[in-house]
Amino acid sequence: MVEETGTAKHPLVAGIDIGSRSIELVLLQDGQVVHWDLLPTTFDALGQCRSLLDRVRAARIVATGYGRKLLLDNLDHPGVTAITEIQAYALGGRHLFPGVRTILDIGGQDTKAIALTMEGKVAKFEMNDRCAAGTGKFLEVMAVALQVPLEKFGDFAWQADRRLQINSMCTVFAESEATSLMALGESPANIALGLHLATVSRTMAMLQRVGMTPPVLFAGGVAHNPCIKSLLEESLGEPILVPAQPDLVGALGAALHGQKLVANE
């Protein structure tokens, strides 16, 4: 537990990213990460937030993600505020990689593509939060259908000996298509690679619509998937940037915003 709030000159600031699948917490002091933690969102997002925040003593808390308003309305803390996910990812991504111009976040239930100016401001963004197609949930459902552990799904896809085209990106229809292909004797690895290719194709379309400029930062839980990363690099024709903890970019950005607020007080 981080028990102190710091001093007036060196306060501790918490950023918390409340997503549909997980909640991430980052604690900053003087621009340095001194603590981080995460929990699954579950059906009690507020309870999970309180569990994370009870472990720290922050002078200011900045929330982002789907549940930011839930925290604003229910957390009894004098220094709580919120920013959008787009703002948080722009701040966090630019802090980690100062020259980054495009941020891609593929999370549990949505995908975000964010184009930044040379100064790091948000120029344009697109967010897919109406459908699970191409998100972590899509890959999770497909991994279950192919009876492969999710954490091994990317490596499993690389065992393919040919590239299949999956025609549907709707999670329900894609699962049905995968099942039909297996019934016809198609290799599960080939189907897995086809599903990864379909995800990357959809993602590339989003990046192109926001006017993607390299370098590109890849964040979110799906950034742990080596197949998605490699296929993105293949499509882009150059390497992409992946943080050591790609899940924490939003929470880091929220904490950085909190530090700016403290500095201006």
For the four alpha carbons of 133, 135, 136 and 142, in that order, the dihedral sign comes to positive
pLDDT digits (tens, 9 = 90+) for 39-48: 999 999 999 9
Q: What is the dihedral of CA 74, 76, 81, 85, to 10 degrees?
A: -40
Model pLDDT, residue 257? 97
146: which 2 tokens?
A: 């192919």
Q: Which CATH number fits domain 99-242: 3.30.420.40, 3.40.50.1220, 1.20.120.430, 3.30.1440.10?
A: 3.30.420.40
Mean pLDDT of 101-113: 91
Query: Which fold is adopted by the domain 13-88+248-264?
Result: Nucleotidyltransferase; domain 5 (3.30.420)
pLDDT digits (tens, 9 = 90+) for 135-185: 788 888 889 989 999 999 999 999 999 998 887 767 667 778 888 888 888
Distance CA 220, CA 194 (A): 21
Distance CA 240, CA 14 (A): 28
pLDDT class for 250, splitting at 50, 70, 90? very high
Model pLDDT, residue 34? 95
Chain-centroid distance of CA 64 in Å reads 12
Domains 13-88+248-264 and 99-242 share a fold: yes
Domain map (residue ranges) of the chain: 13-88+248-264, 99-242
In terms of Cα–Cα distance, which of 127, 126, 121, 128 is closest to 101? Answer: 121
